Amino acid sequence: MNGDRRLPVLVFLFFLTFFGYFYNGGGGNPTTRLNLTRAIVDRGTLYVDRIGFPSDDQIHINGHVYTSKAPGTSLLGVPAWAVFHTTARLLGLDSPFFRNFVVHLTTIVTVGVPSALAMTAMFLILVSLGVGPPRAFFSTAAVGIGTTFFPYATMYFGHSLAGSLAFLSFFFLYRAAESRKKGEEPGRRVLWAALLVGAAVITEYPVGIIALLLTGYLFWTRPSRREVWYWFAGGGVAVVVLAAYNTFAFGSPWALSYLNYAHAARNTFPQHSKGFAGVTWPRWDILKKILWSDERGIVWFSPVLILAVPGLVALCVRKRKAVAEAVVIGMMAVAYLAFNAGYGDSIRYWGGANSAGPRHLIPTFPFLGLALGAFFAILPLAGVGTRVARAAGTLRRYLGDRGESSVARRVLAGSAATSWVLATTLLSWVAVWVAVHSMATCLAVTAVMPQVPMLYRKPLEQFIFPYFLQGRLSVHRGGIIGRALVTGDSIAYNLGKVAGIPGSWSMIPLYLAAIVIVYLLLRWWRDSGLFSRHQLRVVTAGVVLGAVALTTGSLVYQRAHAKPLEGPGVFAAYYHGTRCSGRPVWVTRENDFRFRFQNEDIRPHPSKFCAKWRSFLDVPETGEYAFRIAGAESHLTIDQVDVVVLPKRQRQAGGEVFLQAGLHEIEIEAVMTILNSRFTAAWRPPGARRFSDIPASRLSTPGY
């Protein structure tokens, strides 16, 4: 294999390694898409009655249950599911791991491979635009790993898949335009582009915006009459497929799944009955939340995309042959922001419900990657001394023309040039830091759980970063094909965790694979004269140190925040479900018996969980003590005798018990849900008039 072919292959393998390493379980959206895939393969129907898991993203029409999502992901996943599911069945592989592993393989083939191909196409376009391969690769990684494109490329969703198919369509249109400029025959590239963008539209309907803009881009590049026919013929294939699906499923070629909410037997998303499938006029307050709110803001989840704004200018000014591409990408970003700002009236709609960042914008991210590449191409990252000398020389000549003396000219030129070069270099490295920070953020999101619960006001601060640093990775317990856990505490997994590698160490195989691929890329660039031997060593060392920092940083954090289970306070164990039995999800030591959802030690909760708190209570004097518990179905025992029982539908309950001075074992069990996860316990010692919190100083956990 020659070098020209080896380079895109290595880029493809790099991204496929990241996209395939994680399996992030179920949830309503991927579950309903997989239900349709299974229904087609296993039963030959388009309705999903009694197959798979229940999902909110399904509609009841004419006595049957259908997915409310666009059918593209489900249809594209049919071949992979048929092969892997049939193979597992023939081999008798029916454990929880193998059932989920079949879903994982189907997701890799259906979503991961097209996503990795799209990143490779982005890299190739950037190189053709004159961006150096090292910077082109860094820019591509900033999008493929540094935006929420990454977590959704690991799940059976439609956003990253649709964006990848649309970008691959753009890649073929771009190649066709380049061929026409050279006087060469584009062949059937436009036909392939049309087929790909058509598949993208039936995967995510809003990608119709991108399809319209790509149509304008095609005509801007002056296609031949035959290419125009190719474009509309290829698009017609998607129209026929979608019309056939709608007809067989809903009885009309125009009955888009989202439009069926208006007359569905059960409407779980009433907002879809407003406007056009839930889309109305854009709202400024929602746009602000999409851009910079703590809950879903792009500024926090994918900060590198901020650099796409100056990147669009760079794409026009520095790469004049890419003006058409810059205009199309800019219009695409504005149109998608307007669509998202007009989609629904709550985070459940515009924010994608349980999600990381505003996921509806993801199809535009590969396109914005071209703007990022143009921006990083102009950054002055090295050669400070040389650039100071050049700038000083230019300024000396300029000042000489103004009649300045030789000494003054040298001093002014040297000072101004040094200040300017140092300032631009500093800003350049700040931009690189933003990109690296963005990659670390999205890696943490993907490694922990991309489907962030809506109840978090600051999900990165309250959930993602603490969990990643604690080494609590792949924690989603939502089933997509079965309820049985795959690992000890989750259905989701990464390949290291499912192999038995604990905590933060489970990321080591991914880091090692990435280091090897990056090193091979660097070696190729060195052999091609793009890197010196010194630069090869420096960049390789930087990549290795980054992987070490991600691992050791987590271990240092865990050591600094570790609390022994014995000591002051309360021993706490949290269990999945409504019974405090079996293996706990999390074990820790709390300060007292107060509990709120924001407690940093046990997030995220299953829909229902059971908490058991145990401690020794140091009673100061003999007498009658009153206890009160509130907030959840629970009961309190002292020395294994029931003192207070709080029934399910009651807000609080109390009881009294006579206690001798000294130590007494106190235990509380409480059953809570994610929507009602507050609990308090109080006491009233002899002689006191009011209830107060049980003092933490009188609680200890020896022997647990």
DSSP string, 255-267: --GGGGGGG-SS-
Task: Give the tokens for residue 326.
Answer: 């810059």
Q: At what angle do helices 159-181 and 208-220 cross, to 10 degrees?
A: 0
Tell me the DSSP string of 321-335.
GGHHHHHHHHHHHHH
- Alpha carbons 36 and 72: distance in angstroms, whole number: 10
Closest C-alpha among 176, 192, 34, 185 to residue 117:
192
Task: Give the tokens for residue 370.
Answer: 């071209």
- Alpha carbons 68 and 369: distance in angstroms, whole number: 30
Task: Give the tokens for residue 17.
Answer: 């390694």
Which of 273-282, 353-362, 568-577 ranks highest by mean pLDDT? 353-362
Closest C-alpha among 339, 316, 329 to residue 364:
329
- What's the CA dihedral at 425, 426, 430, 436 to 10 degrees? 60
Residue-range domain boundaries for the chain: 570-700
Which CATH class for the 570-700 domain? mainly beta
pLDDT tens for each residue of 671-680: 887 656 678 8
pLDDT tens for each residue of 460-496: 988 899 889 988 899 888 888 888 889 878 899 999 9
Which is it for the CA torsion 540, 543, 549, 552, positive or negative? negative
At 8 the pLDDT is: 94
**Count of beta carbons in the 10 Å neighbourhood of residue 94:** 11
- Alpha carbons 406 and 409: distance in angstroms, whole number: 5
Average pLDDT over residues 429-434: 91
Task: Give the tokens for residue 258.
Answer: 């989202």
Closest C-alpha among 161, 85, 18 to residue 495:
18
Find where tokens 């609990």 sit.
679
- Report angle CA 180, 182, 188 to the nearest 5 degrees: 40
CB 462 within 8 Å of CB 600: yes
Task: Give the tokens for residue 407.
Answer: 């000494």
Task: Give the tokens for residue 302.
Answer: 């994918």
User: Lowest-confidence range among 200-204, 269-273, 516-520?
Assistant: 269-273
pTM exceeds 0.85 for this model: yes
Q: Which residue has the higher pLDDT, 561 or 99?
A: 99
CB 626 within 8 Å of CB 684: yes
Integer angstrom CA distances of residue 152 from 275, 325, 376, 405: 27, 25, 25, 63
pLDDT band at 406 (very low <50, low <70, confident <90, very high): low
Integer angstrom CA distances of residue 131 from 56, 251, 375: 45, 51, 10
Average pLDDT over residues 519-532: 83
- Alpha carbons 521 and 500: distance in angstroms, whole number: 31
Q: 183-186: long-range contacts (C-beta < 8 A, 24 or more apart)?
A: 186/227
pLDDT tens for each residue of 166-208: 999 999 999 999 999 888 888 899 999 999 999 999 999 999 9
- Alpha carbons 27 and 53: distance in angstroms, whole number: 9
Integer angstrom CA distances of residue 282 from 336, 344, 481, 522: 10, 10, 37, 46
> Coil, strand, or helix at residue 179?
helix
- Alpha carbons 99 and 105: distance in angstroms, whole number: 10
**Count of beta carbons in the 10 Å neighbourhood of residue 580:** 18
**Count of beta carbons in the 10 Å neighbourhood of residue 316:** 18
- What's the CA dihedral at 361, 363, 367, 371 to 10 degrees? 20
**Count of beta carbons in the 10 Å neighbourhood of residue 237:** 15
Those residues with Cβ within 8 angstroms of residue 124's Cβ, 6 or more apart along the chain or in another chain: 8, 171
CB 10 within 8 Å of CB 4: no
Residues linked to residue 636 through DSSP beta bridges, in sequence order: 644, 668
At 391 the pLDDT is: 59
At 605 the pLDDT is: 55
Query: Residue 529 burial (CB < 10 Å; 0-12/13-18/19+)?
Result: exposed
Average pLDDT over residues 309-323: 82
Q: What is the largest CA-CA distance in the chain?
A: 99
Q: Go through 22-58 and write b for each residue having 16 or more CB atoms within 10 A of its CB, e for each that does not.
A: bbbbbbbbbbbbbbbbbbbbeeeebbbeeebbebebb
Integer angstrom CA distances of residue 656 from 94, 616, 623, 627, 661: 53, 18, 10, 6, 15
First to last CA, the chain: 61
CB 488 within 8 Å of CB 497: no
At 518 the pLDDT is: 92
pLDDT over 50 (residue 1) = no
Average pLDDT over residues 618-640: 93
Amino acid at 343: Y
Q: How high is the mean pLDDT of the chain?
A: 87
Query: Residue 673 burial (CB < 10 Å; 0-12/13-18/19+)?
Result: middle
- Alpha carbons 263 and 53: distance in angstroms, whole number: 23
Q: Go through 628-647 and write b for each residue having 16 or more CB atoms within 10 A of its CB, e for each that does not.
A: bbbbbbbbbbbeeeebbebe
pLDDT band at 2 (very low <50, low <70, confident <90, very high): very low
